[in-house]
Amino acid sequence: MLWLYLLAIVTILGIVVRRLLRKQKPLSDEVYSWRVAIDHVCSGVAWVPANGCLHSMNPALTQMQGATAEELTGRPWLGLFAESDQPRVEQVYSRMLLAGVASTNAATVDAWGIETEHEVRLVAVHDHKMRFMGHHCIIESLPRVSGDGRNAAHLGAARSQAAAPEFATLSS
């Protein structure tokens, strides 16, 4: 008789686990579709947990920074921005903590040391108990000419010269 009770319990547990897995599958599909969308936008997107270090980013941000995701992961997120703009970005971060979303224009510094002006939007993320989990840092390129008169083509040429300094003297 005991074996009958054990069989019933195992059957019920199997049914419950199967139903739970079925409910979780659509959620994982939704997360996957969001991840694909973020990976294919032209704006740089980074996930920054509450500890303030970059955790994950899309390919557009790594290309914008001229580094790999592995090189950027673990670095402080404020390091993406020019030192002169970091206090302003910190103020925007404080506003984002209060309002949930905040934005500004700020210069980022890439691996070659070139500063480029971008629109930066910070979006706070909270869990179901409204505890702060981190934020998304969205960096969009501005279509304007930078402050010293260089446009995007000149920036690309400067980056390629910085990447290969031996060729910079030949082309000048």
Cα–Cα distance measured from residue 49 to residue 29, given in angstroms and rounded to the nearest whole number? 23
Would you say how long the chain is, in residues? 172
Q: Give yes or no for a contact between 122 and 96, defined as CB atoms under 8 angstroms apart.
A: yes
User: Which pLDDT score, from 0 to 100, does residue 162 have?
Assistant: 46
User: Which pLDDT score, from 0 to 100, does residue 99 have?
Assistant: 93
Reading the block at residue 73, the tokens are 């992961």
* 20 CB-contact burial (10 Å; exposed 0-12 / middle 13-18 / buried 19+): exposed
User: Which pLDDT score, from 0 to 100, does residue 134 have?
Assistant: 92
User: Which pLDDT score, from 0 to 100, does residue 170 have?
Assistant: 40
User: Which pLDDT score, from 0 to 100, does residue 16 have?
Assistant: 84
Q: What pTM was computed for the model?
A: 0.65
What sign has the CA pseudo-torsion 123, 79, 53, 35?
positive
Q: What is the mean pLDDT of each run of 10 residues along the chain (172 residues)?
A: 80 83 64 63 86 90 89 92 94 94 91 89 90 92 57 49 43 39
Cα–Cα distance measured from residue 152 to residue 154, given in angstroms and rounded to the nearest whole number? 5
